[in-house]
Structure 1
């Protein structure tokens, strides 16, 4: 019996492995261990996965063979790389740099073909169709090193945006060349062929950019609480787009990239959904693809004769030289740094997906011979290795350059790391929307968690209300974990809510408060401290953002910033302006500044000085004596930033009294943020009345509230 069990166990480990559970667990162990082990000798994790694929593949120790399941996961991984590249693309930068992307796409397409075609035709001696198809392979590239870009957080660098934009143009053009050559070989290259190709591509683009965004917006808004369904919907869109692209006559990777662009504005970069998309892709699907690339490499072709080595060497040198030359020309035209040139070369030099598609199709049709096939396999290995090393080294240089660009930027980074946000909550109905707002609002490099606070009024039900508040805030931690937001929850009992918030803000060393929307209160309640938001503004000389979130942020199409005259001279200008910029980048939407001409000039100068890529427009047609309603059309999809001011501030105007009520009246359905920037700390107003802030009045208010309760009890008895 024991021998039978041992024999059965040994049979399970016969090579190649057949048991699907064992196959899957083997690949998972490789995904887990290879990056960790190779990191010790400073080899990028991507190379570790490719080399692991070579070792365990059919041309290595034959531990695994390329089954249909591995092929499926590999295809998903490739589509995922292209989808994430489209999803992470900063659309503001992309629109600004689309001309550069077009130019780079033409360079990285034409230069490798111009270099490779005469070499294939004259040096290697191939026929014209074979030479054209092989040369077009040099023009392709796969963003195999893109996960390195994501890891270093430089996906918004202009050079990266230019390469990603150029990739789609290059690969589309090359795959169209493949379709044309195949049509020529089959004798079907006629008018009907061109009509079919153009019309199918036009229909595909219309579906992706006219229909899919509308369906996605409806789905996300109607099923707002079904977060799992959101991820499944995104995956469905990716693979449906890949299928449509294939039907249209181009490779599925084009469809996946288009899906990323179509959903770009609907998936904020800091959202829980984006976190799920990246996590699953980086943990499972993309490593599967990299391992499968390694499984294709057959090092034994090196020993199949001198012709294979010669062809492999020529193909590899021409492919790398063509991409390097394109990167050099792009650097000279766009005046990039050497590090940016290297990042362009690193991202565009790897050959894998589209290259394999072209070579395998050409080989099956008899256009390409075995030497080119084997030489391409070696080319894939070498270019992937070089691309990974180059991208990682240049990414490190760019990170250092961005940090050391000037002293002001370093100071700003340090300031961002010190950002401490306090979020006092009294209404838990829109808790998930508030957490979504926090995910966009928070400074990613801050060393402090977001502090959620609930102040419970000190009365007979204080203990019960305190337990309820703790339970609600605990639910917020679970929801925030999906977006990797670190929360610090606090509950406290106080006779005066404003006093409690003020006290906790100092205990938490908060320098920014994100509060609820100011509510209409009676004169008596305002005097007794129950106008919470206004009380916070009067009691704390900190940057205060009062928010009203009525619907999901993904539905926003524009940010409207109402800037009072001289608001750019307030002490808290940098804070609120950085938040506006952050919202614009996270949501990939433009900004309309409503301000006077002087403020416009100062904002434009600030943008230029700080090299901020912001799609900004300005409107000066405002009657500042009656700010609301605005003289421009405001839609429900506009996110309103109203930059207000405290009394005594430089930009304060008498018309600001009751501004929150007028915003509610004219724009009741909009998401709104009412901003009260911090004033100079030596402001005479705050120095003179320093002893009259909320916490100083707490004891007096406590006495008044006891008197009020006593009077109310007398009336109740009567």
Structure 2
């Protein structure tokens, strides 16, 4: 009645009302579903079915919904590639290949047998039906990622295996359609293999080069996000042009861009936020709009095909997960998570069934088209999507929650309370100081950041110096907030900056001090500056002095030069842990230079991740030319320093300004002064 009186007709045609309805569903779904204990992802799919053309017909699945849904699917695949650690993927690469072959070959066998012997399909139709069984969609990945399990072994295996099985399934689709239409010849195989290799090589090799150049030359936040979004669709288009499914290109784009987008960066926070708020919910709702409950009642053949497809594909995917568990010695919860991630069928399945449905092999005497896949398979696929998404969501939720509760998060907690102080004085260096500070933090630890600006006691409250100090603090707050990091800004009136920093270190129990290298103002000025030297002489806190020549996100490698006996200093474990955090958060590679003894201790502290770094024997700091010869354009140089009269102090450290200006004039660098014992006694590792 209300709709009639207001002149509103169904389905809704006003774009404002359509968008308003979908936003209301996205907003209300978590509130309602949490009470009913229905997973959020499944709830959005159900909501899509309710408002879609087969439900109350509130919204048609028109081009705008299809566009938003496609963007959401590509976004999911891009995020899965972006959050994938290349080293984890390399370490588990063979496992992904084996799982991919399991989850492809077992459903293929089930599908061919079911299609040919149970449903009575022709051989080509049975093989194409089997390709529907084999393909899978990572619909539960956003939920798993939110729980901090993106780097769990089972998740890495599932993501890598999905790329393999989807690629193989879609290649089967391409070949079967070609055989059915008589288009397969010798040139067909050359074109297919050449285009696939060119696509994969182009994305993995060219995208990082393009991205690094762009991020170096553009610091605008909006432009950076639009650029990333453009690369997602460019990768998807390249894959589509090569005869692959666009989701493969989106995943490869995320994998290629991963090292340019640190996990702690504001850009990563924007990508996560927009994806989880808009793109991914739109995709799930668009999937729900495909579900037609009336398909149950259309014909017995539809019910038979649906039952065979749902039971067959679920059994096949579960068997693949069980075999993977036995092969890789996974836990039961990891097996459940692996099954949950690999059992949903949406993207590649829809692509395959629509292609098969649209291929007409001939006509019956009555003029009816003979299709490669008939209408019963099309309706059965829609029902299979609903059931497999339901099974996938519940299974992934159960496995992921059990792993998280048992302490299976892939991010290791820091053994120290991280409280980082950033003195900000120069507006131009504030952002990079904040980026470095968030990069050295343990992943998912958002607290413990402080920004400080010190002014003289004699300055007026509204004077220009006070305004500049407040501006620098606002920049620090804005930069940290963009990465979802709260930062406490402090404006201190004191007799001098050294006294202000020292006081805050004691008051706030600061563990890490991140400072910018000051600008030299004359011949009598020292390399570090009076402030840094004063702080180092009065405090034992770990101090990082940073000069940035390019954005931290574009750094490919960190070259860490360690002095002899560095392992005997009290702060040795802390700075090794901080460097490990940088490697995890930015994806950059660590290369350590030091004595055999020091490198052995670093390997022990790095533990399982020791193999992801390189270690080179280096004994004499006067031979810094050797490190310079190894350095590349996009490297950052780390020099592990020591205060005078400490165990690891060496005479060449007094000539550090000469080394840096001579060998590394265009490189970013960090001078790291480790935490010192409170007395003159050395702290030896056990």
Gaps of 5+ in 1: 687-718
Distance 1:673 1:597, change over 3 A: same
Of 658, 666, 670 in structure 2, the residue corresponding to residue 669 of structure 1 is: 666
> Which whole-Å CA distance do the structure 2 matches of 1:604 and 1:468 have between them?
45
State the Cα distance separating 1:653 from its structure 2 match.
2.6
> Which whole-Å CA distance do the structure 2 matches of 1:153 and 1:616 have between them?
23
> Which whole-Å CA distance do the structure 1 matches of 2:500 and 2:615 have between them?
40
Distance 1:507 1:205, change over 3 A: same
Distance 1:436 1:460, change over 3 A: closer
Are 2:299 and 1:302 equivalent residues in the alignment? no
SS at match of 1:296: coil
1:604-619 alignment runs, 5 A limit: 604-608=603-607, 611-612=608-609, 615-619=612-616
Match of 1:370 in 2: 375
Match of 1:342 in 2: 336
Match of 1:422 in 2: 421
1:636-655 alignment runs, 5 A limit: 636-655=633-652
Query: Residues 436-493 of structure 1: CA distance to partner in whole angstroms, max 9, x if unpaired?
Result: 3233233344463411111224556785422320122113322332211211111222
Q: Is the 8 A contact 1:433 1:551 kept in 2?
A: no
Are 2:179 and 1:184 equivalent residues in the alignment? yes
State the Cα distance separating 1:41 from its structure 2 match.
2.1
Are 2:55 and 1:70 equivalent residues in the alignment? no
Distance 1:265 1:16, change over 3 A: same
Q: Is the 8 A contact 2:494 2:500 kept in 1?
A: yes
1:121-520 alignment runs, 5 A limit: 121-224=116-219, 226-365=220-359, 366-402=371-407, 413=413, 415-416=415-416, 418-446=417-445, 448-458=447-457, 463-517=463-517
Q: Is the 8 A contact 1:568 1:602 kept in 2?
A: yes
Match of 1:692 in 2: none
> Which whole-Å CA distance do the structure 1 matches of 2:331 and 2:272 have between them?
29
Q: Is the 8 A contact 2:443 2:581 kept in 1?
A: no
Q: Is the 8 A contact 1:516 1:533 kept in 2?
A: no
1:8-157 alignment runs, 5 A limit: 9-12=5-8, 14-157=9-152
Distance 1:373 1:460, change over 3 A: closer
Distance 1:614 1:395, change over 3 A: farther
Q: Is the 8 A contact 1:455 1:493 kept in 2?
A: yes
State the Cα distance separating 1:661 from its structure 2 match.
4.6
> Which whole-Å CA distance do the structure 1 matches of 2:43 and 2:69 have between them?
16
> Which whole-Å CA distance do the structure 2 matches of 1:637 and 1:190 have between them?
47
Match of 2:575 in 1: 576
SS at match of 2:167: helix
State the Cα distance separating 1:248 from its structure 2 match.
1.3
Query: Residues 332-371 of structure 1: CA distance to partner in whole angstroms, max 9, x if unpaired?
Result: 2222222221111111111111111111211222111222
> Which whole-Å CA distance do the structure 2 matches of 1:445 and 1:660 have between them?
36
Query: Residues 132-180 of structure 1: CA distance to partner in whole angstroms, max 9, x if unpaired?
Result: 1111111111010011012111112222112111211111111111010
Query: Residues 377-427 of structure 1: CA distance to partner in whole angstroms, max 9, x if unpaired?
Result: 11111111111111112112222333699xxx9xx73645x3111111232
> Which whole-Å CA distance do the structure 1 matches of 2:24 and 2:562 have between them?
55
Distance 1:612 1:7, change over 3 A: closer
Q: Is the 8 A contact 1:648 1:685 kept in 2?
A: no
Query: Residues 485-518 of structure 1: CA distance to partner in whole angstroms, max 9, x if unpaired?
Result: 2111112222232111101112222121112237
Distance 1:301 1:524, change over 3 A: closer
Q: Is the 8 A contact 1:593 1:618 kept in 2?
A: yes
Q: Is the 8 A contact 2:459 2:466 kept in 1?
A: no
Match of 2:559 in 1: 560
Which is higher, the Rg of structure 1 or of structure 2?
Answer: 1
State the Cα distance separating 1:597 from its structure 2 match.
1.7
> Which whole-Å CA distance do the structure 1 matches of 2:355 and 2:387 have between them?
22
Distance 1:82 1:291, change over 3 A: same
SS at match of 2:630: coil
Query: Residues 587-645 of structure 1: CA distance to partner in whole angstroms, max 9, x if unpaired?
Result: 2222111122222222223333xx3375111111x232625333442123112222222
SS at match of 1:646: coil
Q: Is the 8 A contact 2:310 2:388 kept in 1?
A: yes
> Which whole-Å CA distance do the structure 2 matches of 1:658 and 1:287 have between them?
57
> Which whole-Å CA distance do the structure 1 matches of 2:673 and 2:236 have between them?
47
Query: Residues 227-269 of structure 1: CA distance to partner in whole angstroms, max 9, x if unpaired?
Result: 2111111112211222222121111112211221221221112
State the Cα distance separating 1:292 from its structure 2 match.
1.0
SS at match of 2:622: coil
Match of 1:624 in 2: 620
Match of 1:593 in 2: 592
Equivalent pairs, count: 670
> Which whole-Å CA distance do the structure 2 matches of 1:483 and 1:300 have between them?
46
Q: Is the 8 A contact 1:111 1:326 kept in 2?
A: yes
Q: CA RMSD in A?
A: 2.6
> Which whole-Å CA distance do the structure 2 matches of 1:53 and 1:15 have between them?
16
Are 2:653 and 1:656 equivalent residues in the alignment? yes
> Which whole-Å CA distance do the structure 2 matches of 1:499 and 1:525 have between them?
20
State the Cα distance separating 1:577 from its structure 2 match.
1.3
Query: Residues 74-124 of structure 1: CA distance to partner in whole angstroms, max 9, x if unpaired?
Result: 111111111111111111211222222222211211122123322222222
Q: Is the 8 A contact 2:74 2:247 kept in 1?
A: yes
Q: Is the 8 A contact 1:315 1:375 kept in 2?
A: yes
Gaps of 5+ in 2: 360-370
SS at match of 2:16: helix
State the Cα distance separating 1:682 from its structure 2 match.
4.8
Distance 1:518 1:11, change over 3 A: closer
> Which whole-Å CA distance do the structure 2 matches of 1:490 and 1:392 have between them?
42
TM (norm. structure 2) is 0.92
Distance 1:378 1:268, change over 3 A: same
Q: Is the 8 A contact 1:92 1:614 kept in 2?
A: no
TM (norm. structure 1) is 0.88
